[in-house]
Structure 1
Amino acid sequence: MSASGSTASGVPHLGVDPFDMDFFADPYPTHELLRETGPVVYLDKWKLYGVARHAEVHAVLNDPATFCSSRGVGLSDFKKEKPWRPPSLILEADPPEHTRTRAVLSKVLSPTVMKGLRDRFAAAAEDRVDALLQMRSFDAITDLAEAYPLSIFPDALGLKPEGREHLIPYASLVFNAFGPPNQLRQAAIARSAPHQAYVTDQCQRDNLTPGGIGACIHAHVDEGAITATEAPLLVRSLLSAGLDTTVNGICAAVYCLARFSEQWQRLRADLTLARNAFEEAVRFESPVQTFFRTTTREVELSGATIGEGEKVLMFLAAANRDPRRWDRPDSYDITRRTSGHVGYGSGIHMCVGQLVARLEGETMLSALARRVASIEITGEPKRRFNNTLRGLDSLPVTITAA
């Protein structure tokens, strides 16, 4: 775990493996080590640079010309190896291509569109709480964090009812694939064929319900904004971006509110805090833990010189608990001013599904806080291990009606 020597450019070397199971089980001591060792570190295990402080993570995210995405936002460098699937037109692209495709998604997921979906999402949240109150004891992951988004987002997108069980494994696969060639990545890709086939099929124009978000993306082909080949890939982006961020965000929020009962009572007393309670959970738990960039030129970052073509790993979760940026960073506080957290990234590549995640998170937490007096964890929470995402596989809880 200790620093071992440093390079000529003054960058300290660390022997930690941020894709190791022990690290996933408890990343916080390593996050602190990464932050306190220096503004930029070199991780010998995977031969890459790492940044874990808020200022440096923010700087890398907001300089896409120097720290590019088109060479892959995982460990794999697309300039040197073939991507495991056709690259994302949003996540794995740079301007000007990224600017054009992103504009289409910004239109189909605009605040106005979200406003139109709010009533439907709120009604679905009420229905879910009805079902949960009847059950009283349930798994907060399968019966809440997954069940709620799966009950509304695929409909809003315009997916057919059959085959939706592929959606969560597909999102999990995408985020495992950003990691190194470890067991998690290899196993995910090995079993991915049916999930990929389903997703590829669902993203075609003929298979999407007219009027849904997916159909709206395809409509931009008629206007010449995107090509017929690009449209299915943009729909595909939403299948992971619109689902995993939300599932893991709701998981994080429920897990926080169940552990910190004073925050739950605070939310119950003031329902206008629902959106911020969700946002603070995204900062505190950071469902998306890491992302990579690749340098397009030699660059100096906080006194460290990084050569061209180097992978830089951004520890979003460590930045979100950086004491240089946050007061009492290791406490969950639903009244905290959360603006500036990098849980959804920052800059031009900020998560395209964030408005969906926020709307679903807010409507779900409001419905719960209005009608549930207490949430008690009644069994051992189980982690779901993933190279990029941090979340739970199981969270047994019991609720009481208000």
Structure 2
Amino acid sequence: MTAALDHLPTTDVDPFAPEVLTDPLAFHEELRAAGPLVRLTRYDVLALGRYTDVRAALVDWQSFRSGAGVGMLNFHTEPPWRPPSLLLEADPPHHDAPRRVLGKILGPRALRVLRERWAADAEILVDEVLAGGYEFDAVPAVAEAFPLRVFPDAVGLPEQGRENLLPYGDLLFNAFGPRNALLEEKLPRLGELSAWVNAQCARDALAGEGFGADIWAAADRGDITAEQAPLVVRSLLSAGVDTTVTGLAAVLHAVARYPDQWARLRADPGLARVAFDEAVRWESPVQTFFRTTATDTELAGVRVPAGRKVLMFLGSANRDPRHWGPGAGTFDLDRDPSGHVGFGMGLHQCVGQHVARLEAEAVLAALAARVATITPAGPPRRRPNNTMRAWASMPLRVTPA
């Protein structure tokens, strides 16, 4: 026997209000306590906040589809503002070939080639930062600077115009939420930023070597079509920068808040990958994604009609004490964070997560070799975004090793 939607627990809290986006933890706790499935009355969408239910929805792509958009907009009833992503906003079979191509391009062989180069780049960047003093804002100086230094080169982007990457990503992730003040503020640049990004995806705009050239080579082989190739390149530019920037900021915030864990990492640099994944679990740079029910579906004992938007709170799931235990709200290198949903789960799990990990490992290794302690030098400041738990500023103080 399944319950009706009108018997669900409800909340009128706006999860996209700036104050909730800036500090969502109390809302997440209320959401988990209310029940496995909660109706957000402000938007009439269904919400999942507990780990077990979020993970189940993520892996069940047949019932909870991405092809109607992973934001609030339902592509089946309203036109998308850009051609949908072939990876993030598509389901099999349309999703399969682009995913295979990009998975191979971003696979272990590519990472082996990049590992030494990015380690050297991270050492240069950290030396430059420390040459300016032992207090700095880690967001522009490290978290933004390193991905913007290495990832566009790996893709094969020209130097000119790279300053558009972060504003475009901020617009994109805001667009997954409602049309609120955060999105309205960004919309005036929509045409300009979209035109720039689309131009970079053309074969002739990209270097002869790099991820972009590899995607076009896959089109030449017939692995994907020539029409799909620029959209696959765009996927790199859409999700390959902002998520890594926010993930790097998360791990720097974590080790500054937990100096004992930084000491452990310095003593055992092999913990760098665990530290990054634990920070992604703890902070959840990507806080939310939507799915749409493909058919009438039973969810947490409730019959959900086809075509309903379901909002998965990844950040809430990643701190759910039902799964992670009573210490879920702490950053702990003794924890195995490998089951976190910060990169999604299942068929649509982030295809570039290993690239992000490699960037984080390079930065953490360079810092560990040069910095004995990391502590806050002032209050950090968030940058509200409808999807990302992003940072505007993070003053840090370090002491040399």
Q: Give the TM-score band, short-chain normalised.
A: over 0.9
Task: Give the unaligned 5+ runs of structure 2.
Answer: none
1:72 CA drift (Å): 0.5
CA distance in 2, matches of 1:207, 1:8: 50
Q: How does 1:110-259 map to 2 (within 5 A)?
A: 110-135=107-132, 136-259=134-257
CA distance in 1, matches of 2:377, 2:357: 27
Unaligned runs of 5+ in 1: 1-5
- Contact conserved, 2:61 with 2:91, CA < 8 A, in 1? yes
1:13 corresponds to which of 10, 18, 24? 10
Instruction: Check the 8 A contact 1:289/1:317 in 2, yes or no.
Output: yes
Deviation of residue 189 (structure 1)? 2.2
Q: Give 1:374's aligned residue.
A: 373
**Deviation of residue 9 (structure 1)?**
5.8
Alignment: residue pair count: 397
Say whether residues 1:57 and 2:54 are aligned partners. yes
TM-fit CA distance, 1:268: 1.0
Q: 2:315 is matched with which residue: 314, 317, 331?
A: 317
Where 1:340 maps in the other structure, the secondary structure is coil
- Corresponding residue of 1:355: 354
Report how far residue 240 of structure 1 moved: 2.1
Please give the TM-score of this superposition, normalised by the length of structure 1: 0.97
Provide Cα deviations, 1:41-67, integer angstroms capped at 9, x if missing partner: 111100100000001000110111110
Aligned to 1:43: 40
Q: How far off is 1:116 after superposition?
A: 1.1
Task: Give the distance between the partners of 1:378 and 1:298, measured in 2 at CA.
Answer: 52
Displacement of 1:139 = 1.0
Q: CA deviation at 1:68?
A: 0.4
Aligned to 2:265: 267
Distance 1:26 1:56 in 2: 22
3-state DSSP class of the match of 1:72? Answer: coil
Q: CA deviation at 1:194?
A: 2.1
Instruction: Report Cα offsets for 1:94-143 as digits up to 9, x if no partner.
Output: 00110111011011101111111101111111111111221222110001
Secondary structure of 2:27's aligned partner: helix
- 5 Å-filtered alignment, 1:296-315, equals 296-315=294-313
Contact preservation (8 Å) 1:41, 1:50: yes
Identity %: 52
Whether the 8 Å contact between 2:5 and 2:302 is mirrored in structure 1 is no
2:164 and 2:306 map into 1 onto residues whose CA distance is 39
Deviation at 1:320, TM superposition (A): 0.1
Aligned residues of 1:9 and 1:304 also touching (Cα < 8 A): no
User: 2:66 maps to what in 1?
Assistant: 69
In the TM superposition, residue 352 of structure 1 has moved relative to its aligned partner by: 1.8
Partners of 1:214 and 1:235 within 8 A in 2: yes
Q: Considering only aligned residues, what root-mean-square deviation do their CA atoms show, in Å?
A: 1.2
Matched to 1:384, the amino acid is R
Q: Counterpart amino acid of 1:249?
A: G
Supply the distance in 1 between the matched residues of 2:136 and 2:6 (Cα, whole angstroms).
54
Residue of structure 1 equivalent to 2:337: 338
Cα distance, 1:7 vs. partner? 5.4
Give TM-score, length-normalised by structure 2: 0.97
> In structure 1, what is the equivalent of residue 280 of structure 2?
282
Conserved? CA contact 1:133–1:400, under 8 Å: no
Instruction: Give the C-alpha shift of residue 8 in structure 1.
Output: 5.5
1:3 maps to none
Q: Which amino acid aligns with 2:362?
A: T
- Check if 1:78 corresponds to 2:71: no
